[in-house]
């Protein structure tokens, strides 16, 4: 029988055993916090995205049973709630993993929620040791009763939303936070030393950059080129620094050495994206990593371990924060030792803030064994972790191999900060919810939303855009050259299908005024929202890279000043998807206007293109990376040892027979002639 209750009544039923922030209908609390660079004084409120009035059925757990569940979901970070099954953080008690977790804590035995594990433990405890050894439940013979693997060693379960995302690929996004919310969360840091990892995506770099991150988070400014510049400074007794991590760098080139050679280009583009304030800044804190290939992940992991304190993962949605978190988190380590030789190391519980000496942890290096003393959180620390006016969730107990944040292509998977401690209180790594990146997926059909994410490196084909033609990208974008009588070459590094057609037909298809057989992933009825995103100039000179053997020292060896033409290029970025490399060749005499590259009022007639997209957004432009010249598809070369290609053998035998017949007929004709 269903009945309605308000969240305030749930608090009364539980006799004030439930933390106040688990009831979002209660009034918010006012708190004054000392931030990393400023004082914050504003009301704060836990956002669980649940309604005040909810419907509870007879199969839902009671408020007292909430204490048997995890404090927060380790997959998305949502605080545990038992009110709304449709919202993040809801746990269903009928799931096997949830029953095992509650049974491990000893709260559900004899209540019909699964006391089988406790019964199994009692039976094994009363059984003969030799019988257990024969059954494979005990190691080391008759007298060894500590080698048996306990059934209580289970992982912390995730909420129903994370369970559906993992096994059924169904879910929904949450409301993305603002940079002010991220600032207030980091201001509640319990650590003196904090390091912020600004995560960027290589697919649309630098479109996923947050330019005002330093000023918004009141972090230490970038170190200048002055050799006496300080590496950091303290504000309000705390220190915060920022590093840039560019994820999914394997999308740029197939080899790590090729990506490393792109670092000067990446630093130049990043410096330009940060603005004039970064002109005299030393960018020595940039790393290009690949979680898929393992490029530079070990170095980042060592940096996190050596720094300690609080490590914060900040970035926009779908830039790969959770996937990077899984690869750089220092699992199974404490003070330089590893947990691998311990049988029951997962029972260790070390609270955040306690040092190795205070926790009673001892290590012996002689026999390469470790002895860990499992301790419980002190009551006063538990109360501080459950403070209802804190924006940070409670710190979970430390385990050597914890459940890490959920990796999903759904934008907005992480609901609230996910804290994972390491090193016996040495520090913790915190995954924050992603900032809003764009709403391009709302213009795509549900079946093709997964196609917007580039998962593997794309090897595009060269597309030729002649005068009077346009390029259609999945039916979402239209690229139209505006410079007359000029041929453009396009190399789309995108997971979407591209098609070159006439400009009139491309406009009709893009605005959904005409049905055709061209592949499109756009939703029906959004043709009226297709607007111009602006005109972009191909202003970067790539004549030396594109001239081929004319400028090579082993060939013609000509200088670019001697050539009668110039080649210009630019990369058009598609937010969250990839980029399109555009190239055009013009006559040099058309560009001779007395201007030089980099002039403030450069009015040279560069090749121009116009891009149309939904609501006129989701696109950008950058200096060309030149990936096509680096690792694009090249034409098949001729066979070895021959300068010219092999002659085609088609019809050679037939022609030889005709030649022999002609010779024979002429000979017979001569013999018959008197």
**pLDDT tens digits for range 641-671:** 545 667 777 788 888 888 888 888 887 877 7
One domain, residues 399 and 501: no
One domain, residues 111 and 64: yes
Of 23-37, 281-295, 591-605, 641-655, which one has max mean pLDDT?
281-295
One domain, residues 427 and 464: no
- Res 558 pLDDT > 90: no
Q: Is 537 exposed, middle or buried (0-12, 13-18, 19+ CB in 10 A)?
A: middle
**pLDDT tens digits for range 618-631:** 999 999 999 998 87
471 vs 172, more confident? 471
Q: What is the side-by-side strand order in the sheet with 469-473?
A: 498-502, 469-473, 477-481, 608-614, 530-537
Q: Say how many Å lie between the first and final Cα of the chain, rounded.
A: 122
One domain, residues 531 and 594: yes
475 vs 150, more confident? 475
**pLDDT tens digits for range 584-610:** 999 998 887 656 666 666 778 899 999
Question: Lowest mean pLDDT: which of 33-37, 157-161, 389-393, 540-544?
Answer: 33-37
Q: Is the peptide bond preceding residue 206 cis, with omega within 30 degrees of 0?
A: yes
Domain-located, residue 627: yes
Quote the pLDDT of residue 82: 81
One domain, residues 11 and 81: yes
One domain, residues 200 and 73: no
- Res 438 pLDDT > 60: yes
Domain-located, residue 642: no
Q: How confident is the model at residue 40 (pLDDT cuts 50, 70, 90)?
A: very low
Helical residues (DSSP H) of 188-222, grouped into ranges: 213-217
**pLDDT tens digits for range 106-136:** 544 444 444 455 556 666 666 666 666 666 6
**pLDDT tens digits for range 193-239:** 899 999 999 999 999 998 878 777 766 666 665 555 666 666 656 77
Q: How confident is the model at residue 335 (pLDDT cuts 50, 70, 90)?
A: low
For every residue of 91-122, DSSP letters joined together read: --TTSHHHHHHHHHTTSSTTTTS--HHHHHHH
One domain, residues 128 and 211: no
Q: How confident is the model at residue 3 (pLDDT cuts 50, 70, 90)?
A: very low
One domain, residues 235 and 275: yes
- Res 52 pLDDT > 70: no
Q: What's the CA gap between 99 and 86, in Å, rounded?
A: 20
Q: What's the CA gap between 92 and 545, in Å, rounded?
A: 60
What percentage of the chain reaches a pLDDT higher than 90?
32
| Segment 540-547 mean pLDDT | 91
- Res 473 pLDDT > 90: yes
Q: What's the CA gap between 95 and 89, in Å, rounded?
A: 14
User: In which domain, by residue range, is 279 found?
Assistant: 176-330+389-431
CATH number of the domain to which 283 belongs: 3.40.50
Q: What's the CA gap between 111 and 131, in Å, rounded?
A: 31
> Is residue 293 left, alpha or beta, with left meaning phi > 0 and alpha meaning psi from -120 to 50?
alpha
Q: What's the CA gap between 374 and 349, in Å, rounded?
A: 6
Domain-located, residue 155: no
Domain-located, residue 493: yes
For the chain, the domain total comes to 3
One domain, residues 182 and 293: yes
One domain, residues 180 and 318: yes
One domain, residues 593 and 572: yes
| Segment 358-377 mean pLDDT | 37
Domain-located, residue 417: yes
Quote the pLDDT of residue 653: 82
- Tell me the pTM: 0.73
Task: Give phi and psi for 656, each to the nearest 5.
Answer: -65, -40
Domain-located, residue 354: no
- Res 496 pLDDT > 60: yes
Boundary-marking domain end, from 373, 402, 431 = 431
Boundary-marking domain end, from 404, 431, 458 = 431
Domain-located, residue 85: yes
Quote the pLDDT of residue 586: 94
Question: Lowest mean pLDDT: which of 98-107, 300-309, 343-352, 381-390?
Answer: 343-352
3-state DSSP assignment of residue 370? strand
Quote the pLDDT of residue 530: 93
Question: Lowest mean pLDDT: which of 94-108, 243-257, 307-321?
Answer: 94-108
One domain, residues 410 and 483: no
| Segment 247-268 mean pLDDT | 93
Domain-located, residue 637: no
Question: Lowest mean pLDDT: which of 100-104, 124-128, 160-164, 207-211?
Answer: 124-128
Between helices 116-126 and 96-104, what is the axis angle to 10°? 50
């Amino acid at each position: 029988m269903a009945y309605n209750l308000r969240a305030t009544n749930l608090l009364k039923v539980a006799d004030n055993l439930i933390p106040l922030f688990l009831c979002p209908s209660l009034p918010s609390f006012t708190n004054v916090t000392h931030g990393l660079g400023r004082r914050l004084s504003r009301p704060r409120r836990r956002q669980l995205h649940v309604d005040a009035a909810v419907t509870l059925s007879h199969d839902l757990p009671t408020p007292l049973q909430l204490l048997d569940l995890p404090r927060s979901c380790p997959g998305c970070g949502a605080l545990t709630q038992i009110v709304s099954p449709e919202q993040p953080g809801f746990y269903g008690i009928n799931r096997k993993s949830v029953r095992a977790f509650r049974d491990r804590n000893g709260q559900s035995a004899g209540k019909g929620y699964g006391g089988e594990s406790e019964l199994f433990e009692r039976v094994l405890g009363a059984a003969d040791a030799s019988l257990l050894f024969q059954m494979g439940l005990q190691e080391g013979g008759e007298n060894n009763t500590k080698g048996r693997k306990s059934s209580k060693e289970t992982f912390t379960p995730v909420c129903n939303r994370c369970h559906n995302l993992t096994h059924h690929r169904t879910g929904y996004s949450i409301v993305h936070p603002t940079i002010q919310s991220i600032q207030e969360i980091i201001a509640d840091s319990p650590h003196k030393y904090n390091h912020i990892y600004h995560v960027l995506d290589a697919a649309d770099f630098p479109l996923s950059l947050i330019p005002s991150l330093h000023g918004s988070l009141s972090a230490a400014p970038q170190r200048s080129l002055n050799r006496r510049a300080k590496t950091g400074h303290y504000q309000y007794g705390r220190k915060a620094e920022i590093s840039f991590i560019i994820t999914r760098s394997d999308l740029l080139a197939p080899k790590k050495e090729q990506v490393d050679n792109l670092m000067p280009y990446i630093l130049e583009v990043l410096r330009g994206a940060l603005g004039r304030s970064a002109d005299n800044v030393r960018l020595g804190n940039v790393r290009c990593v690949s979680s898929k290939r393992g490029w530079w992940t070990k170095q980042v992991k060592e940096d996190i371990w050596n720094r300690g304190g609080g490590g914060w993962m900040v970035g926009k949605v779908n830039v790969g924060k959770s996937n990077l978190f899984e690869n750089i988190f220092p699992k199974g380590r404490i003070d330089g030792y590893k947990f691998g030789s311990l049988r029951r190391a997962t029972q260790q519980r070390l609270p955040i803030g306690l040092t190795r000496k205070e926790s009673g942890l001892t290590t012996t290096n002689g026999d390469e064994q470790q002895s860990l003393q499992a301790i419980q959180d002190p009551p006063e620390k538990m109360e501080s972790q459950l403070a209802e006016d804190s924006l940070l969730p409670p710190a979970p107990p430390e385990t050597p191999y914890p459940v890490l944040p959920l990796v999903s292509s759904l934008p907005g998977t992480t609901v609230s900060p996910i804290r994972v401690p390491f090193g016996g209180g040495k520090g913790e790594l915190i995954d924050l919810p992603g900032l809003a990146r764009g709403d391009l997926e709302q213009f795509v059909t549900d079946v093709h939303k997964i196609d917007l994410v580039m998962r593997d490196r794309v090897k595009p084909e060269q597309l030729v855009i002649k005068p009077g033609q346009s390029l259609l990208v999945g039916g979402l974008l239209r690229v139209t050259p505006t410079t007359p009588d000029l041929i453009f070459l396009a190399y789309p590094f995108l997971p979407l299908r591209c098609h070159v057609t006439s400009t009139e037909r491309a406009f009709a298809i893009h605005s959904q005024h005409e049905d055709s057989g061209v592949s499109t992933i756009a939703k029906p009825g959004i043709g009226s929202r297709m607007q111009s995103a602006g005109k972009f100039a191909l202003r970067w000179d790539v004549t030396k890279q594109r001239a081929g053997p004319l400028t090579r020292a082993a060939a013609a060896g000509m200088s670019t000043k001697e050539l009668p033409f110039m080649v210009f290029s630019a990369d058009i970025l598609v937010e969250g998807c990839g980029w399109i490399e555009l190239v055009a060749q013009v006559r040099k005499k058309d560009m001779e206007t007395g201007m030089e590259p980099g002039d403030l009022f450069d009015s040279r007639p560069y090749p121009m293109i116009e891009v149309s997209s939904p609501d006129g957004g989701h696109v950008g432009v950058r200096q060309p990376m030149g990936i096509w010249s680096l690792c694009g598809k090249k034409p098949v070369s001729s066979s070895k040892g021959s300068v010219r290609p092999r002659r085609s053998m088609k019809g050679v035998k037939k022609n030889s027979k005709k030649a022999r017949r002609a010779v024979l007929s002429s000979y017979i004709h001569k013999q018959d002639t008197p």
